[in-house]
Amino acid sequence: DAGITQSPRHKVTETGTPVTLRCHQTENHRYMYWYRQDPGHGLRLIHYSYGVKDTDKGEVSDGYSVSRSKTEDFLLTLESATSSQTSVYFCAISEQGSDNQPQHFGDGTRLSIL
Amino acid sequence: LAKTTQPISMDSYEGQEVNITCSHNNIATNDYITWYQQFPSQGPRFIIQGYKTKVTNEVASLFIPADRKSSTLSLPRVSLSDTAVYYCLVGKSSGYSTLTFGKGTMLLVSP
């Protein structure tokens, strides 16, 4: 399995608090992604990164920010968490190269906003 | 982004071959077709990818007709551990483009 570690794996917090989720990879892959998964919606892309300090928005980026200061780490921040951001968050990575490099996913972070 | 349509759920029994068909009528010329598998409480796992004709690996086969407007994931002799959600995606897997996951097909394998 691809070396992807998400932390924390579970978190419960209150509305209005800041939350940061971390994705750490040991594969030296160029591309990293953050998804959220909710019942009835499948996985939806929040933000992605195509290199250090290079990021772009995905389908559901409102309320989220990301940072990538080094290749191996991609951080997802909820500046002021809301109950609608209760979800399971997945990080994924893919290798630089041809367009058909598959994405490899972490095991997810279950986030509950009360 | 090309939209995909696949059955919401399928049932099968151990030892049977399972075929899951995905429709993608507006697939672009340079799009690939990729299938992922997801177990509860885990991230999706790459199964197979193809561009045209047939692709086979140790887990599954992928059949793509000449017009590429659909594809079929074939799982030979399924077991209980193949119970999972299967996603069909069309597009480029990596780089600047992004993938759109639909709701997938929930495959339930019974004894």
> For B32-70, how does the pLDDT look when each residue is reduced to its tens digit (9 = 90+)?
899 999 998 899 999 999 999 899 999 999 999 999 999
CA distance B60 to chain A (A): 16
Query: Tokens 């151990």 map to which residue?
Result: B14
Q: Within an 8 Å CB–CB cutoff, is residue A94 touching chain B? A: yes
Domains of chain B listed by start with CATH number: 9-95+105-110 (2.60.40.10)
Domain holding A86, by residue range, is 11-113
Residue A95: name the closest of A65, A61, A51, A55 by CA.
A51
Contact B93 A35 (CB under 8 A): no
Distance CA A20, CA A111 (A): 11
Angle at B49 between CA B46 and CA B53, to 5 degrees: 155
Distance CA B30, CA A109 (A): 33
> For B78-91, how does the pLDDT look when each residue is reduced to its tens digit (9 = 90+)?
999 999 999 998 88
Q: Within an 8 Å CB–CB cutoff, is residue A10 touching chain B? A: no
Tell me the average confidence (pLDDT) per consecutive run of 10 residues in chain A, 114 residues long. Answer: 89 96 95 91 89 92 96 96 96 78 91 96
- CATH of residue A67's domain is 2.60.40.10
CA distance A84 to chain B (A): 19
Residue A6 domain-assigned? no
Residue A4 domain-assigned? no
